[in-house]
Amino acid sequence: MSELDGFHAAIVEYGADPAPRLILADWLDEHDRPDEAELMRLHVALLATCCDPKNHPERVRQQARIVELLAAGVRPCLPRQTIALAKGVDMTFAWIAPGTFRMGSPSEEPERFEDETLHEVTLAQGFYFGIHAVSQAQWQAVMGDNPSHFKGKNRPVEQVSWEDCQAFCTKLSQREGKRYGLPSEAEWEYACRAGTTTPFFLGDTLSTEQANYDGNYPYKEGAQGEYREQTTPVGIFPPNAWGLFDMHGNIFEWCKDEYRPYGDVNTTDTMETDNRIEDARILRGGSWSYNASICRAAYRAWFAPPARFNYFGFRVAFRLD
């Protein structure tokens, strides 16, 4: 095991404790990787203050600097796992540490919906999450076909139902001997936000240079941008601080949960579905065909499990248990 592998193993073992990440940041400085060290320290700071953002005005500067570093090509030095699906076709997962965050949107967030009640959620377990939506090449390698409308091996697979996604996860689990599945809705939003509390992990607005959505309909005072009218290859826009690509736009992503109201209480996410509405599964993230407000981190969509559209896809999660 290399020294870096040892740091990554400690990060996974110690869960929400930021100490191993801060020790790794010092190591990155010592090995002439200052930008990665800065990114890690800033991310730790955001995660530590995300439940009390109003008392931490420094968060605005920290988040802006994170976005600047990621746009410049700096990538998080965090644990990953990669599996080979076929010759030249891999699937990579980023480690998402456990923690507590504010799920939903504040009452003053523009264009929010009533079902986005702001509340704290604690994720007691960390998990690995696909760094991007399942691509057509990955789907083909596991399932042997390609149902997508917008063809391209590096584009996300679409026109897949919630039931299709479950079949993919079952088959992948059988192949690899691990329990792969869709994320819970709370896991998805926690992963998307990466410690931020703004409408997008990129800040208060979004541009079509940062994500694929209908640029004719920007968010707030944002400028109009390109409307591509189709999906784009996965991973061409900057990731968030966990190293996850396309969490805003490109395709909606199915989650495990049945749709249910949040209520007003803080919770520990257990991937259960109390007060659920049957035959309605959650989708998150917005898509190429929707306006910027639908791509907000807090926006909740839902549809019947058999539904298939050319803006519905998914990404895969797994835990170590």
Residue 267's pLDDT is: 66
Tokens standing for residue 163 = 């039931």
Domain boundary among 77, 105, 120: 77
Are 43 and 102 part of one and the same domain? no
Are 188 and 125 part of one and the same domain? yes
Are 90 and 164 part of one and the same domain? yes
Are 155 and 204 part of one and the same domain? yes
Sheet holding 80-86, edge to edge: 80-86, 89-96, 127-130, 317-318, 180-181
CATH of the domain at 238: 3.90.1580.10
Residues of the chain where predicted confidence (pLDDT) is lower than 50? 270-273
Domain boundary among 77, 95, 111: 77
Residue 1's pLDDT is: 76
Residue 265's pLDDT is: 56
Q: Which residues of 101-113 are buried (b: 16+ CB within 10 A; e: fewer)?
A: bbbbbeeebeebe
Domain boundary among 62, 77, 92: 77
Residue 103's pLDDT is: 97
Are 50 and 104 part of one and the same domain? no
Residue 279's pLDDT is: 84
Q: Does pTM top 0.85 for this prediction?
A: yes
Beta bridge partners of 92: 82
Tokens standing for residue 246 = 């396309």
Q: Long-range pairs for 33-38 at CB < 8 Å and ≥24 separation?
A: 33/77, 35/69, 35/72, 35/74, 36/74, 36/75, 36/76, 36/77, 38/65, 38/69
Question: What is the number of domains present in the chain?
Answer: 2
Single-letter residue type at 72? A
- H or E, element range at 5: helix 3-13
Are 277 and 190 part of one and the same domain? yes
Structural domain including 222 reads 81-318
Are 212 and 111 part of one and the same domain? yes
